[in-house]
Amino acid sequence: MSDAQIAERALRSLDLTDLTDTCTDQAIDALCKKALDPRGPVAAVCVWPQFVKRSQENLRGSPVRIATVVNFPAGGEDVSRVTDDTQEALSDGANEIDLVLPYEALRRGDVAVAAEMVEAVRDLVDQGRLLKVILETGELKDPALIEAASRLAIEAGADFIKTSTGKTPVSATPEAAEIMLEAIKASGKPVGLKPSGGIRTVADAKIYLDLADRIMGPGWATPRTFRIGASSVYDALIAAIEGRAGTAATGTY
């Protein structure tokens, strides 16, 4: 498969992200314009909750979905606060909720808190909307913990499991993604994978697409089951599709 073909596949599965602390209405307008590029469109934009309504105005009538984050990025343990935030985001028009698992609770062995939060948010995310659970694998570190977090999220009703917030020193890694894909495969459930953070080149995207093809089978990785969470890979994907040499990635995610 050529770089251009890989880039086209990755672009359609992209959650084009702006979770910078300095995000503005103007930045959201620019993000949504990129999301609607005729070479795409991308699968979704991923924005802070306060920008969901503006994103909806920009994307009305398009197939691009609106994802937002809750319990982000710290992965706290206040279930009622997170369900309130989720309800508000859904009311504003979010189609997808990216929930940070209370990963510190999991690390200290408090599985019940983590499961309760995922189940509570799952109950709210209905009607064709998606729940993506962020495991923060760079903080969990231990392969056994990453596997346990994957299983917990899948059993509690996640539609996707996502590697990272992009806010910690270690974001997506192929090693973590492989563990997560194996857990998805073992579950037999139609759960997707979202590697996120640190994916900046066509070669980076190819690593994760190849992993999905190898473990789940060719053709499994479509926007229904596979997303790449990134801001900085977009320009590189467009450059590859246009046959230009790889453009230096810009952006922190």
DSSP 25-80: HHHHHHHHHHHT-TT---SEEEE-GGGHHHHHHHHTTSS-EEEEEESTTT----HH
Active site annotation includes 98: yes
What pTM does this model have?
0.96
CATH of 3-242, one of 3.30.70.2340, 3.20.20.70, 3.60.21.10, 2.140.10.10: 3.20.20.70
* pLDDT tens-digit map of 106-123: 999 999 999 999 999 999
- b/e 163-194 (16+ beta carbons within 10 angstroms → b): bbbbbeebbbbeebbbbbbebbeeeeeebbbb
Confidence band, pLDDT 50/70/90 cuts, at residue 1: confident
Catalytic residue (one of 34, 132, 162, 167): 162
Catalytic residue (one of 3, 15, 18, 98): 98
Active site annotation includes 126: no
DSSP 83-118: HHHHHHHHHHT-SEEEEEP-HHHHHTT-HHHHHHHH
Domain boundaries, the chain: 3-242
* pLDDT tens-digit map of 191-240: 999 999 999 999 999 999 999 999 999 999 999 999 999 999 999 999 99
Question: What is the structure's pLDDT at 252?
Answer: 60
Q: Which residues pair with 229 in a beta bridge?
A: 15, 196
Active site annotation includes 53: no
